[in-house]
Structure 1
Amino acid sequence: MKLREKYFRWVGIPVFALFLTLVIKRGEDAPLWERFLTATLITGFFWNGAFMIFIYFRKKFPFIRQTPRRILITIVALSIFLIVGDTAICLILGKKTLAQLSDPAVFFKYTDINFLASFFIGSIYENVYFFEQWKNTIRLNEALKNQQIRTQFEVLQNQMSPHFLFNSLNTLTTLIAEDQEIASEFTQKLSEVYRYILANKEKELVQLKDELEFAQAYVYLLRMRYPENLTASFSVDEQYQRKHIAPLTIQMLVENAIKHNVISKAYPLHIEVYVENGRSIVVKNNLQSKKVIEKSTKTGLANIKKRYEYFGKKNIDIITTANNYLVAVPLISLVNEQDQPLVAEL
């Protein structure tokens, strides 16, 4: 901005001086080049002086709420500068004598021109400055807003690992009581699964391919507890596996199905994971709700909704029918791994 202003000022001075020379003559018979040179010197003096006044009072009153006071004081200071400066220039250039300047008609001969020129140039400076301040205010507000959203998102991310561990330890406690050998195998698989969480919990997005592999490993752990009563199918075409999803989304939805539904020989639970219309990943289970829901940290589905609000999308579709429960989560498309997330339009 400073560089642009410098060029604007030093190009504007001769251009404006030329305008004054050609348009405003007021009976002067001096050659054109002499009048242009004089106009350039006077314009340069007043423009640079006015510029220093503007900059001084901008630093003195930098905030937008101080704009009326800054403008008022600037006008007073500029008026004094124009009157005193015009008198000084006239004496230095020999255009007038002290005796002539004692006549008000002579003293104020060019005051109207000086004020009009200063008003025109000053309006440009003030409008540009106000616009820059306004842009900076919006930029700051957006930065603060984004930081607030980022902080909220990080809180949601930090919920995931304790949430997963809490529920896994509950499962492990049950297995230890039922079969210590399976519990030992579960512990080994759990360590492998948890490595995925540690590697991805700080990420906003992961590839659907990686999330599916993790979800399948998680289902494997669940099947240790429900070997005959739980089945799961993953049907996702390879063309969609490079799309992205918030980490642990599928795992949380699978966990939600386990938590809220009866699983027994009489009522086996089947979970399906598939892509709908190329835009959403769907987790579907047959509906056989428990009368009494097991103790929950209540961070699963709510966490997913809030994380997707961070990406500007709230359309996490939840559909309940007489026989099934479905949750559809938008897939996110990235041009490359460094790009910002763009949620696929539904």
Structure 2
Amino acid sequence: MNRKSLITISWITFFIGTVIFVFFTPVKTFRNYLVTMVISALYSFTIAVGNGLINDYLNKKYSWVENTRKRTILGIIGTLLVNVVLVFFCNYVNFIIFQHRNSAHFFSGAMGTSNWLTINVALLISAILHAKGFVEAWKSSTKQEVVQQKLIAKSANAQFESLKNQLDPHFLFNSLNVLSSLIDENPGQAQRFTASMSKIYRYVLEQKDKELVTVEEEINFAKTYCDLLKTRFEDSVSFDFNVNEKDLKSYVVPLSLQLLLENCIKHNFATSSKPLHIKIYSENGNLFIENNLHQREQVKESAGIGLANIVQRYSLLTKQNVFIEKSATFFRVKIPILTQKTTAMTTQPSQESMAYQRAAKRVEELKGFYSNLISYCLVIPFLAFINLYTSPQYLWFVWPMLGWGFGLSMHALKVYGIGKNWEEKQIQKILDRDHSKNL
């Protein structure tokens, strides 16, 4: 119980005490006003502090978010027991000690009715406090989750942009190296290479800002780039394209083939007597780039931008991995073909968004149950009061109490029932299966 809560209880005490004194106290004296305030404080502070302590204890032991069911069950049991004990204590002090009534009739007659009504009012207030604590806990949790997912998405986007921005200088640097070699070897080819390079670089600029491109676009660009390489290496390098027609409309990361082709050239020597054969083909939903191995000695350590860039970009876009296979005779890279134009930066938040929607739906279900419980605790005591005041010989309020109570029990089973975990597991399985199909 904090200072703010104690101030609130004091105001409630003052309000209730004043109302009782003005409307229900026949003799208006200052002494009676003080007595009314003391009795009001007895009920307000005893019941409020008792409920506050049990709530604080349960909140420390069990989280509303992580242990919702256990927290709710223990809250109901604890609140019921605590309020019954506290109400009996307050009524005993009020009726038996202050008013000197006969203790033999404490559980019957007017005192018994007062016990019943006071317990229901206390339970109503407790239910409101529980509902308030539950909603605040879930709001706080969902806000933190949304902020966390936004930070993850922003971080992933920033990382992805950083990887894509490596492509411009990387491609330009390597192309200029090729051009530099051609100027000495064959100035005519160097001139044609320069013209072709400008067309290819335009494609690089157009595609680098895209997260995915179609396999068809990437293959067409790769063929143009291969023509550029043929300009320099002539019959020392050969290229074989064999991509299934059905895979052309699927997606890969942009410039992946260009980087892998460049990687083949960079790490292997090619001569007319020992040509370099490069194959690009698709199989089982994957795109393969394979070359025979004529590994050259590296004068200086490679920057490792090509393969590392592709691996990192795919890791941000999908759970499917890029596989690299090397033997004594060949080197092969397998990159996944994505069947839908979705990325991790849109798919992941989407899945989290659906999880958030399920959580929000769960909150609404629980709020509905608490609203039903609060209405029950408010309406049934009111009906009981009307019944006992108008026709105490026939307790008709028992029937709506039992009927509504049964409906409330069914509502509780629906919200906290055993089958709920099974339902949530099935929903999660469907989401995971759909997510894997999309990728």
Alignment correspondent of 1:76: 6
Match of 2:169 among 141, 144, 162: 162
1:92-241 paired onto structure 2 within 5 Å: 92-94=22-24, 97-98=28-29, 99-103=31-35, 107=40, 111=44, 112=47, 113=118, 116-241=123-248
Aligned 8 A contact 2:238 2:278 in 1:
yes
Unmatched 5+ stretches in structure 2: 48-117, 348-434
Is 1:90 matched up with 2:90? Answer: no
Where 1:103 maps in the other structure, the secondary structure is helix
Question: 5+ unaligned residues in a row in structure 1: which ranges?
Answer: 1-70
Return the TM-score normalized by structure 1: 0.72
Going from structure 1 to structure 2, the CA distance change for 1:212 and 1:95 (only over 3 Å counts) comes to farther
User: Which residue number corresponds to residue 246 of structure 1?
Assistant: 253
Instruction: Report what 1:59 is aligned to.
Output: none
**Distance in 1 of aligned mates of 2:318 and 2:41:** 62
**Equivalences for residues 283-294 of structure 1 within 5 A:** 283-292=289-298
Partner of 1:329: 335
Which structure exhibits the higher relative contact order, with contacts defined as CA atoms closer than 8 Å and separated by 6 or more residues? 2
- Letter matched to residue 175 of structure 2: S
Residue 268 (structure 1) aligns with: 275
**Bigger helix fraction:** 2
The code of the aligned residue for 1:167 comes to N
Q: 1:95 to 1:303 in 2, by over 3 A?
A: farther
> Contact 1:311–1:343 (CA<8 Å) still a contact in 2?
no
Q: Work out the number of aligned pairs and report it.
A: 274
| Counterpart residue type for residue 103 of structure 1 | V
Q: Is the 8 A contact 1:284 1:326 kept in 2?
A: yes
Q: Residues 286 and 95 from structure 1, CA distance in 2 versus in 1: closer, same or farther, beyond 3 angstroms?
A: farther
1:343 deviates by 7.0
Matched, 1:305 2:235: no
1:241–1:343 CA distance, 2 compared to 1 (3 A): farther
Cα displacement (A) at 1:332: 1.2
Asked if the contact 1:284/1:327 (under 8 Å) is kept, the reply is yes
**What do the CA deviations read for 1:173-195 (whole angstroms, capped 9, x no partner)?**
11111111111111111111111
- CA deviation map 1:39-87 (0-9, x unaligned): xxxxxxxxxxxxxxxxxxxxxxxxxxxxxxxx62343133112211211
Provide closer, same or farther for how the CA distance between residues 174 and 318 of structure 1 changes in structure 2, counting only shifts above 3 A: same
Residues 295 and 188 (structure 1), Cα distance of their counterparts in 2 relative to 1, 3 Å cut: farther
TM-score by length of 2: 0.58
Residues 283 and 328, structure 1, Cα contact 8 Å, conserved in 2: yes
**Shift in alpha-carbon separation, 1:343–1:195, aligned structure 2, 3 A:** farther
- Sort the Cα spacing of 1:336 and 1:107 in 2 relative to 1 into closer, same or farther, 3 A: closer
Relative to 1, partners in 2 of residues 1:229 and 1:107: Cα closer, same or farther, differing over 3 Å?
closer
Q: Displacement of 1:198 after TM fit? A: 0.8
Q: What one-letter code is carried by the residue in structure 1 that aligns with 2:13?
A: I
**What CA RMSD, in Å, does the superposition of the two structures yield over aligned residues?**
2.6
Query: Which residue in the other structure is 2:113 paired with?
Result: none
Equivalent position of 1:53 in the other structure: none
- Aligned-residue offset at 1:142: 1.5
Q: 1:173-230: per-residue Cα shift (whole Å, max 9, x none)?
A: 1111111111111111111111111111111111111011111111110000111110
Q: Distance in 2 between matches of 1:149 and 1:207?
A: 22
What percentage of aligned pairs have identical amino acids? 30
What letter matches 2:273 in structure 1?
A
Match of 1:228, SS state, is: helix
CA–CA distance in 2 between the matches of 1:331 and 1:343?
A: 13
- Going from structure 1 to structure 2, the CA distance change for 1:305 and 1:314 (only over 3 Å counts) comes to farther
